[in-house]
Amino acid sequence: MAHPGTARSAAFFDLDKTIIARSSTLAFSRPFYVGGLINRRAVLRSVYAQFVYLLGGADHDQMERMREYISAMCTGWDVSTVQTIVADTLDHVVRPMIHDEAVELIEQHHAAGRDVVIVSSSGAEVVEPIGAMLGADKVIATRMVVADGKYTGVIAEYAYGPNKATAIRALAETEGYDLANSYGYSDSITDEPLLAAVGHPHAVNPDKALRRLAIERDWPILDFSKPVGLADQSRFPAVRRSAAAAAMVAAVAAGAFLLAARRRARTA
């Protein structure tokens, strides 16, 4: 990929079925169940929704039903509990679903001097930690209204469909991105406005409608299927830095413990 030169540009990535193989929100249904946020029936419903989503993607009506379902499900949830569950389970829930091809593209865009922006209709509490894991520069995600530390069930910002295009235009205005020199990646026909807003749109694992549109408009079609793998820590610089920092903290704590033990022994 050529360096963008003097004009700033960005690469905008959808998350679900583009960077990762499933719905990021529904993927956390089991950890949410273990954490006491949902019941067994909700887990089974989430599994079924994942199955339907994987088979044929999601059109506008299905996405609207999913939005209503998730809004109702999370009403009254404690925000800090959700954040803790996501942080504790992110590594083994999300990492196996990440496409290696997407990670390579992110690395290439960074090497070319572009910002990488994840644009997802999933909630910010899920998308932001995934973005940090992948080394994304910015995240655009759905945001819920919070009152007294709990979700009200009302959506403040819904990053879906035309709203994604509006959001990236606003970000481009703020950051000085040249959208004509920017890139876009998505799997769904519902993201046509986002893809049409950039100069280099790409259909990734596209649903039938997006595949037809991509062929009509001569957009490149990419097929991602190779998982990164749990053991390949080197592909995630953000995680590697966090692990190193944790190791340093542990070493300092161990040193302090040994020093205190020696002092107690001398005193005795």
Strands 183-186 and 138-147: unpaired
- Phi first, then psi: give them for residue 110, nearest 5 degrees: -65, -40
14 noted as active-site residue = yes
Residue 44: both structure tokens together: 């089974």
Give yes or no for a contact between 22 and 187, defined as CB atoms under 8 angstroms apart.
Answer: no
Q: Is 260 exposed, middle or buried (0-12, 13-18, 19+ CB in 10 A)?
A: exposed
Starting at the edge strand found earlier in the chain, the sheet holding 138-147 runs 150-157, 138-147, 115-123, 10-13, 183-186, 200-204, 221-222
Length of the chain: 268
148 catalytic? Reply is: no
Give the Cα separation of 115 and 182 in Å (integer): 9
Which residues carry out catalysis? Answer: 14, 16
